[in-house]
């Protein structure tokens, strides 16, 4: 395991070569960034929690027929996934106005949208992931029109499923980001869900109090970010042994150098 080849290090994850061709290991870090990496920090235990939450959501999505890169979770911080060619588009799904939408169009945060809004951003850190139209995506060949149909249909189904799932545990799904990838089968390729789904890339508000249970706690210096991620995991019924116990145990082990 120690000799494996690192393929890529991103802001929140490291990708290693997987055990078989066509597979990758995703390692979830505690590192947190915001505002195109201008703000940097760590959220204790985030990697462990995001690994578990993402496993949970991708598994449930698989049950309703959403194909994804997820194969299985390997350990506390790693999961085995299929290698994909990432479509260079971030798909933002919005149910309630917040964040950049509120800023851009002057709509008060928390205003419910009359219907689900899909937005696309071109994945390019140097450009700050600019918002683009489907016409740009077609014009520059980032994804075909057929692929965009699959992507948008999947994004809407994922949103319907996730909004219901979170509502059931007293959480409003305000917005979230998805990434998709291509897998090649002979001369054909198909689109599958990739990356991760976790409080890093979702806005999650408590239904009763509107308390933020996501990365906005870090972005906006609200404090309590580790507790917020733990709360989402707890409500999802993950870590039945207790999230904090699992995380404390880990840091104890680390201290002892194991």
Q: Rounded to the nearest whole angstrom, what is the least distance from the CB of residue 250 to ligand UDP in the complex? A: 25
Residue number with the smallest Cβ distance to ligand UDP: 99
Q: Residue 14 in 3-state DSSP? A: strand
Which of 156, 249 has the CB closer to ligand UDP?
156
- Please choose, from the candidates 35, 26, 152, the residue with its C-alpha nearest in 3D space to the C-alpha of residue 99: 35
Q: Which pair of structure tokens corresponds to residue 20? A: 């078989």
- Asked if 37 and 221 touch (Cβ cutoff 8 Å), the reply is no
Following DSSP, what letter does each residue of 156-189 receive, concatenated? HHHHHHHHHHHHTTTEEEEEEEEEEEEEEETTEE
Tokens of 143: 């994804």
Residue ranges binding ligand UDP (CB under 6 A) = 90, 92, 98-101, 129, 175-177, 201-203, 215
Q: How far is the CB of 252 from ligand UDP (least distance, A)?
A: 31
Residue 257 corresponds to which tokens in the numbers above? 């150098």
* Residue whose CB is less far from ligand UDP, 74 or 118: 118
Question: CB-wise, 77 or 215, nearer to ligand UDP?
Answer: 215
Hey, CA dihedral for 207, 213, 219, 222, is it positive or negative?
positive
198: helix, strand or coil: coil
Q: How far is the CB of 222 from ligand UDP (least distance, A)?
A: 14
Write down the least CB distance from residue 214 to ligand UDP, Å: 7
**Closer CB to ligand UDP, 171 or 202, in the complex:** 202
Name the minimum Å distance from CB 102 to ligand UDP.
8
143 vs 178, beta carbon nearer ligand UDP: 178
Three-class SS state of 49: helix
């Amino acid at each position: 395991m120690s000799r494996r080849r690192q393929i890529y290090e991103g802001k929140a994850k490291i990708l290693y070569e997987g055990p078989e061709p066509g597979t990758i290991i995703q390692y979830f870090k505690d590192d947190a960034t915001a505002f195109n990496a201008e703000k940097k920090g760590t959220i204790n235990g985030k990697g462990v929690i995001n690994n578990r939450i993402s496993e949970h959501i991708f598994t449930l999505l698989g049950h309703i027929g959403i194909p994804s890169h997820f194969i299985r979770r390997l350990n506390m911080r790693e999961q085995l996934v299929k290698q994909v060619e990432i479509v260079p588009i971030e798909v933002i799904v919005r149910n309630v106005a917040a964040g950049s939408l509120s800023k851009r169009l002057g709509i008060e945060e928390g205003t419910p949208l009359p219907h689900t809004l899909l937005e696309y951003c071109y994945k390019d850190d140097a450009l700050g992931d600019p918002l683009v139209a489907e016409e740009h995506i077609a014009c520059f060949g980032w994804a075909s029109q057929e692929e965009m149909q699959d992507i948008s249909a999947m994004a809407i189904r994922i949103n319907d499923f996730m909004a219901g799932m979170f509502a059931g545990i007293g959480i409003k799904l305000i917005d979230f980001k998805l990434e998709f990838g291509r897998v090649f089968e002979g001369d054909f390729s198909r689109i599958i869900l990739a990356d991760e789904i976790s409080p890093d890339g979702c806005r999650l508000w408590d239904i009763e109090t509107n308390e933020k249970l996501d990365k906005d706690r870090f972005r906006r210096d609200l404090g309590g970010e580790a507790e917020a991620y733990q709360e989402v995991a707890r409500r999802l019924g993950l870590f039945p042994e207790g999230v904090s116990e699992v995380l404390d145990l880990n840091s104890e082990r680390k201290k002892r150098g194991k």
